[in-house]
Homo-oligomer: A and B are copies of this chain.
Amino acid sequence: MNQVIETILQHRSIRKFEDRPLSDEQIRTIVECAQAASTSSFIQAYSIIGVKNKETKRKLAELAGNQSYVEHNGHFFVFCADLHRHEIVGEMENVDLSSALESTEKFMVALIDTALAAQNAVIAAESMGLGVCYIGGLRNNLPEVCELLKVPKRVIPLFGIAVGYPAQNPDKKPRLPFHHVYHEETYQQDRSELENQLKQYNETISSYYKNRTNGERQDTWTRQMANMLSKQVRMYMKEFVESKGFNLK
């Protein structure tokens, strides 16, 4: 196993950091690694906002649901889907690009582009001995996040990444069974097989939680997912992304 694969397989989310900022060189390397990711038709449809300001971080933490590690970390990155520069391109080249920019296809492209860049940033940071945590909680309050970070139309902050020197060493969380996620030749639709795999996974997750909490937490994956997905959260999202000029046609 090489160093790259070792880094990738060692990933755990870190939610407690030392009080020690990243250097500008570390930040630059992380962003350059993000930019090295593949991008659909070279479109480069994302921007990254780096936040050091303590007051901004404190407000972001509040907006994300009071997660302390949004405030306390070595650096906070906000990854944004961005077609604002392509609107400028249209004006520079005197072509109306609005149909493409407002399409669901380009909404998907911008989301995928942003996520590919982000994951490169994460792997790069982890390879330097840093820990990371993705912060989807920013999507709880996107209008406020946009106002705070002065984000224009055709830009959507998708998630944050808190980065820093780890002050905890959590366990790796077991993933869904390999053959539940990886299908050979065609999507395997045998219903009883899929259910059996989920039941098997429930046992894995159940013992994982029991071991970590001295038997206190009794939870399965399907129960956890059913709880999470029975809540209607962020239902403003469709209207919000449309108001930003995305996903309209």
Contacts and interface: CB of A to CB of B under 8 A. Distances in A.
B41 A228 contact: yes
Nearest to A152: B189
A206 to B, nearest CB: 14
Interface stretch (A30-38, A66-74, A163-171, A210-218): A30-38
A52 interface: yes
B159 A112 contact: yes
A180 interface: yes
A27 to B, nearest CB: 8
Contacts of A123: 4, 8, 119-120, 123
Contacts of A38: 11, 13, 122, 132, 134
A22 interface: no
Nearest to A225: B89
Interface of A: 2-5, 7-9, 11, 13, 28-29, 31-33, 35-38, 40-44, 46-53, 56, 80, 85-86, 88-90, 92-93, 95-97, 99-101, 103-106, 108-109, 111-112, 114-116, 118-120, 122-124, 126-128, 132, 134, 136, 139, 148-152, 155, 158-159, 172-173, 175-176, 178, 180-187, 189, 191, 194-195, 198, 221-226, 228-235, 237-238, 241, 247, 249
Nearest to A44: B176
Nearest to A202: B92
B185 A52 contact: yes
B50 A33 contact: no
Given A92-B198, A108-B237, A238-B104, A187 B149 contact: yes
A222 B89 contact: yes
Contacts of A183: 47-50
Contacts of A40: 134, 136
A39 to B, nearest CB: 8
